[in-house]
């Protein structure tokens, strides 16, 4: 099958940027009014900071109401380095950006686990701390701030003219946009959107959630820092009055107004919002009415922002042309576990898990033979899902030993470490990355196999582009394997439940499992889909992958399993072939109950 | 040495009085948060309107203080009704979970502009109904208004809790907080409960404003800082825990004033430093319900 691909940086992408560069270069030649140049400079650095914030808000779904603080740190660091230490702009500016990035990584720590209003508080508190500190500390000039910050100099020793400074800001802004586009369209953007969709599913595919969240914070802070540096050297004077809460609000508003998570949203939003004071300069008294009104109207009527709403107009759909098509690469279906190794894939001994006083698992011993389909059944609440959760590191075991491949004892590590061993799972209540396309969901599954890192994707090196295409072809093959390839470019959340389950299996297979654990794969499927699922499972087994299947559908589980274990009240009560389990008294008792002891007397 | 002790004693009383205002506003955050998952980021501006409108009633119209308080509470309560209509209800259906942050901030920006036009940008002295002379308690001089604030604010916090737990409408609100759909199924008008939550929340902010104005000043920009500090108090205690919020408000108020005694430069920053540490250790506040991951 051939699949058109849309989101790619190709020649068209570069042409667009060359055109934009040309336009920005010519702009001040045609409009050389000093006030106009000044406004354009400001738009440039405010845009960069907004773009940075949008990387956080649009890509990771986190909120920041403290970006003015990061903007301030860039500005103050560069201003101090150039006035107190006499550093030239070309040294102080990168210094300011680096320090802003460092503060961003520190800010990430309290932000990692905090959500919603709590996360908002973290960022608000940070913003206020920066404002108050810079206002009170003598080192930062106190309320007076820092004066006579030098303008950047040219190699010949002369100061840059405002037009030259505009060119510098515009050039950097363009690069920032280009880098953001590169990151967004490739691995990083995909991974961050995946985290936004489901952190637990992302971890189960080997993604280190903390690392990516910190990375998003750092990138965002670096962008804010760049904005701040340009601001300081444009103005020549800074004090804490600039870096207040309302600046953070205006960054966030710009991002949301333009359309957060869209490529050009931050540009549109920051230009419109920041032009308001200039355009309505005559209406000084009503400025805040207009400003507040515009925020309210956009939030209420354009929830996806200007760009986000425009994208929904069919005209713009037609505009979107696929960049290329790819063919599937079925080599992905050769699984590594077909190599002969007779040791059991997984062995647990005395595994226990307590939740407070509830013993969800107690003293479970179980061995999963390589190449088998191991069924796991039991009444609701018998500990089946807890078993998967403990083995995959979602929960820490209270007691017991987990051994992989006969020799590797599993320590209670994070789920992403366990995924790296090839222990991959699906979820009882499907955890797809809803905002991503179906094929991108599968691409996230390849996370641990992708070699090209952050900088390769940032610069779109040939290796990175080739790798993307290579794995996209493999992803397509997996979707074909699960008969869902025709929906590859749709958003995962738009699929039916049964289709979503198949996508989830494809995504799990992308992670090259040694042991694939399916948690109630048949739940919610119709009879046709059920039949299909049985085939899929036997195909996966034939490909050499060991499976553990939790299921309530008896016909299915009896048909596909080589061995079945039965749980009841957190204990394994039976194990054996489907025939043996079906005739086991304890199993019958667990499922059907047993006549009370005096019942026999009544019969007699 | 003795003078330091006096200062600490004074700081404690001031801290408790400011802290009880924080707690009062923060209980407003609690009420709307448990019912809708949203809160009014412009709560500080509602406080400001309460103070300035109260000032107009009390000084310009010469009404008794109690009537001014009542009028301020009534006005801000009505504004809460409008806020829910304009900034909460229209964005609740949005997928974007943080729309309400900006919509309520937008309302607060508009209110600030309106206040500047109506009352001017200057700081105005709000005369205390209890006079400006200090009462000596031990060796420390305390303003009677400060004691009144503590009694009135904490009294209101308890009264609100009583209302929520004892009255039928309060129980309906708790039911909506517990499970919105189930509450609707048993015949509770969820929409009305949500409106009520915002009216109550806003009225609390208005009351806070007219209470605090005599010890600060009344002006258009007075609200932002107490609004944010109260938010910090709510976060400190845990947005879903009224007891935690009360403690959070008092702790933050006292902490601030005590650090103010040591070094006035530390006073403003300490709250935020403190809250960052708390959240790094406990991401849902000291007494907030923990999130349990269910897979």
pLDDT tens digit sequence for A457-511: 888 888 888 888 888 888 888 888 888 888 888 888 888 888 898 899 999 999 8
Contact, A463 vs A452, CB < 8 A?
yes
Does residue B291 fall inside a structural domain?
A: no
Residues of chain A found within 8 Å of residue B226, distances taken between Cβ atoms = none
**Residues B276, A113: C-beta atoms closer than 8 Å:** no
Does residue A38 fall inside a structural domain?
A: yes
> What's the mean pLDDT in B163-184?
89
Could you tell me the pLDDT band of residue A602, with boundaries at 50, 70 and 90? very low
**Residues B113, A293: C-beta atoms closer than 8 Å:** no
Does residue B288 fall inside a structural domain?
A: no
Q: How many CB pairs under 8 A join A and B?
A: 135
Number of domains in chain B: 1
Question: Is B261 a residue whose pLDDT tops 80?
Answer: yes
> What's the mean pLDDT in A266-281?
87
Q: What is residue A266's predicted lDDT score, i.e. its pLDDT?
A: 92
Q: In this structure, are A355 and A455 located in the same domain? A: yes
How many residues are recorded in chain A? 604
Could you tell me the pLDDT band of residue A337, with boundaries at 50, 70 and 90? low
> What's the mean pLDDT in A48-61?
91
Nearest to B66 by CA among B162, B150, B148: B148
**Residues A110, B279: C-beta atoms closer than 8 Å:** yes
**Residues B91, A300: C-beta atoms closer than 8 Å:** yes
How far apart CA A392 and CA A425 sit, in angstroms, is 8
* Interface contact A287, partner B, CB < 8 A: yes
Q: In this structure, are A353 and A215 located in the same domain? A: no
How far apart CA A415 and CA A425 sit, in angstroms, is 10
What is the number of helices (H) and of strands (E) in chain B? 12, 2
In tens, the pLDDT along A91-148 reads: 999 999 999 999 999 998 888 888 888 888 999 999 999 999 998 888 888 888 898 8
Sheet with A546-550: strands ordered across? A423-425, A515-519, A546-550, A373-377, A563-568, A571-576
Instruction: Residue B232: give its domain's CATH number.
Output: 1.10.3470
Boundary-marking domain end, from A191, A218, A244: A244
Q: In this structure, are A349 and A220 located in the same domain? A: no
Q: What is residue B294's predicted lDDT score, i.e. its pLDDT?
A: 58
Does residue B143 fall inside a structural domain?
A: yes
Number of domains in chain A: 2
Does residue A414 fall inside a structural domain?
A: yes
Which residue segment(s) compose the domain that B269 sits in?
Answer: 2-281
Question: Is A7 a residue whose pLDDT tops 60?
Answer: no
Boundary-marking domain end, from A244, A278, A299: A244
Contact, A385 vs A518, CB < 8 A?
no
Mean pLDDT of the residues in chain A? 85
Q: In this structure, are A513 and A375 located in the same domain? A: yes
Q: Provide the CA A581 distance to its chain's centre, in angstroms.
A: 43
Question: Is A598 a residue whose pLDDT tops 70?
Answer: no
Does residue B251 fall inside a structural domain?
A: yes
* Interface contact B292, partner A, CB < 8 A: no
pTM: 0.89
Does residue A15 fall inside a structural domain?
A: yes
The reply to whether ipTM tops 0.95 is no
Least confident of A60-64, A329-333, B13-17: A329-333
* Interface contact A113, partner B, CB < 8 A: yes
How far apart CA B261 and CA B8 sit, in angstroms, is 7
Contact map slice: B 12-41 vs A, CB within 8 A: 33, 37, 39
> What's the mean pLDDT in A316-332?
70
Does residue B287 fall inside a structural domain?
A: no
Q: In this structure, are A462 and A584 located in the same domain? A: yes
Q: In this structure, are A234 and A343 located in the same domain? A: no
In tens, the pLDDT along A374-422 reads: 888 888 888 888 888 888 888 888 888 888 887 777 776 788 888 888 8
Instruction: Residue A401: give its domain's CATH number.
Output: 3.40.50.300
Question: Phi and psi dihedrals of A549, rounded to 5?
Answer: -120, 120
* Interface contact A276, partner B, CB < 8 A: no
Q: What is residue A299's predicted lDDT score, i.e. its pLDDT?
A: 84
Q: In this structure, are A227 and A343 located in the same domain? A: no
Which residue segment(s) compose the domain that A421 sits in?
Answer: 336-603
Question: Is B95 a residue whose pLDDT tops 70?
Answer: no
Question: Phi and psi dihedrals of A275, rounded to 5?
Answer: -85, -15
Which residue on chain A is closest to B100 by alpha carbon? A299
Could you tell me the pLDDT band of residue A604, with boundaries at 50, 70 and 90? very low
> What SS3 state is found at A179?
helix
> What's the mean pLDDT in A189-201?
89
> What's the mean pLDDT in A28-46?
91
A132 to chain B nearest CA, in Å? 6
Does residue A311 fall inside a structural domain?
A: no
């Amino acid at each position: 099958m051939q699949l058109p691909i849309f989101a790619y940086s190709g020649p068209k992408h570069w042409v667009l940027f060359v055109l934009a560069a040309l336009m920005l270069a010519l702009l001040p030649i045609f409009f050389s009014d000093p006030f106009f140049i000044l406004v354009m400079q400001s738009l440039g650095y405010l845009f960069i900071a907004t773009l940075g914030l949008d990387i956080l808000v649009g890509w990771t779904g986190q909120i920041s109401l403290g970006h003015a603080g990061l903007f301030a740190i860039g500005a103050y660091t560069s201003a101090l380095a150039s006035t107190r230490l006499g550093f030239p702009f070309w040294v102080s500016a990168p210094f300011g950006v680096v320090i802003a990035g460092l503060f961003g990584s520190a800010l990430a720590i309290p932000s990692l686990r905090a959500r919603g209003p709590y996360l908002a508080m973290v960022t608000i508190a940070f913003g206020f701390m920066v404002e108050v500190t810079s206002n009170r500390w003598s080192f930062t000039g106190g309320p007076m701030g820092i004066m006579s910050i030098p303008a950047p100099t040219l190699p010949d020793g002369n100061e840059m003219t405002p037009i030259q400074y505009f060119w510098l800001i515009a050039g950097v802004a363009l690069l920032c946009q280009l880098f953001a586009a590169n990151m967004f369209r490739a691995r990083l953007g995909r991974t961050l959107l995946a985290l936004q969709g489901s952190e637990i599913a992302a971890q189960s595919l080997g993604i280190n959630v903390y690392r990516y969240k910190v990375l998003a914070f750092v990138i965002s802070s670096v962008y804010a820092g760049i904005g701040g540096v340009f601001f300081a050297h444009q103005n020549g004077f800074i004090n804490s009055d600039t870096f207040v809460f309302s600046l953070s609000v205006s960054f966030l508003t710009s991002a949301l107004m333009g359309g957060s998570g869209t490529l050009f949203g931050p540009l549109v939003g920051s230009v419109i919002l920041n032009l308001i004071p200039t355009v309505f300069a005559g209406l000084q008294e009503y400025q805040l009415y207009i400003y507040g009104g515009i925020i309210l109207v956009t939030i209420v009527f354009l929830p996806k922002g200007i760009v986000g709403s425009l994208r929904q107009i069919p005209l713009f759909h037609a505009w979107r042309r696929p960049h290329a098509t790819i063919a599937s690469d079925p080599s992905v279906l050769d699984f590594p576990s077909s190599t002969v190794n007779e040791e059991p894939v997984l062995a647990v001994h005395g595994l226990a898990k307590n939740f407070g006083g509830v013993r969800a698992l107690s003293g479970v011993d179980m061995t999963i033979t390589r190449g088998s389909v191991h069924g796991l059944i039991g009444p609701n609440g018998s500990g089946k899902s807890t078993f998967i959760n403990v083995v995959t590191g979602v929960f820490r075991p209270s007691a017991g030993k987990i051994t992989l491949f006969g020799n590797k004892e599993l320590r209670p590590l994070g789920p992403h470490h366990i995924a790296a061993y090839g222990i991959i799972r699906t979820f009882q209540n499907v955890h797809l990355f809803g905002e991503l396309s179906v094929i991108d969901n599968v691409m996230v599954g390849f996370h641990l196999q992708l070699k090209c890192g952050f900088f390769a994707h940032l610069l779109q090196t040939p290796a990175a582009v080739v790798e993307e295409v290579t794995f996209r072809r493999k992803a397509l093959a997996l979707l074909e394997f699960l008969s869902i390839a025709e929906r590859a470019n749709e958003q995962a959340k738009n699929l039916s439940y049964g289709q979503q389950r198949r996508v989830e299996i494809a995504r799990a297979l992308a992670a090259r499992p040694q042991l694939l654990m399916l948690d109630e794969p048949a739940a919610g499927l119709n009879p046709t889909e059920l039949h299909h699922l049985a085939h899929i499972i036997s195909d996966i087994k034939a490909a050499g992958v060991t499976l553990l299947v939790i299921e309530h559908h008896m016909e299915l589980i009896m048909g596909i399993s080589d061995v079945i274990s039965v749980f009841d009240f957190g204990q394994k009560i039976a194990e054996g072939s489907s025939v043996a389990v079906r005739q086991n008294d304890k199993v019958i008792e667990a499922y059907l109950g047993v006549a009370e002891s005096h019942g026999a007397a009544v019969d007699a | 040495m003795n003078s330091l002790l006096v200062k600490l004693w004074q700081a404690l009383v001031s801290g408790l009085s400011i802290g009880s205002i924080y707690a009062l506003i923060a209980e407003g955050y609690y009420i709307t948060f448990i019912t809708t998952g949203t809160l009014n980021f412009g709560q500080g501006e509602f406080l400001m309107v309460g103070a300035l409108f109260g000032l107009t009633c009390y000084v310009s119209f010469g009404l008794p203080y109690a009537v001014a308080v009542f009028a301020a509470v009534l006005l801000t309560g009505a504004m809460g009704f409008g806020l829910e209509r304009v900034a909460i209800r229209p964005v609740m259906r949005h997928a974007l979970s943080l729309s309400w942050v900006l919509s309520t901030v937008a309302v607060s920006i508009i209110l600030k502009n309106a206040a500047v036009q109506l009352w001017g940008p200057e700081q105005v002295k709000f005369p205390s109904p209890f006079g400006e002379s200090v009462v000596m308690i031990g060796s420390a001089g305390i303003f009677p208004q400060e004691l009144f604030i503590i009694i009135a604010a904490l009294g209101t916090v308890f009264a609100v809790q009583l209302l929520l737990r004892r009255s039928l409408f309060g129980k309906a609100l708790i039911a909506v907080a517990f499970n919105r759909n189930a509450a609707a199924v048993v015949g509770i008008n969820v929409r009305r409960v949500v409106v009520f939550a915002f009216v109550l929340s806003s009225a609390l902010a208005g009351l806070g404003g007219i209470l605090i104005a005599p010890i600060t000043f009344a002006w258009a920009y007075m609200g932002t800082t107490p609004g944010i500090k109260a938010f910090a108090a709510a976060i400190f205690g845990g947005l879903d825990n009224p007891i935690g919020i009360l403690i959070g408000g008092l702790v933050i108020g006292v902490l601030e004033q005590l650090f103010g005694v040591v070094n006035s430069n530390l006073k403003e920053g300490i709250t935020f430093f403190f809250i960052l540490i708390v959240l790094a250790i406990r991401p849902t506040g000291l007494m907030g319900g923990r999130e349990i991951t269910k897979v």
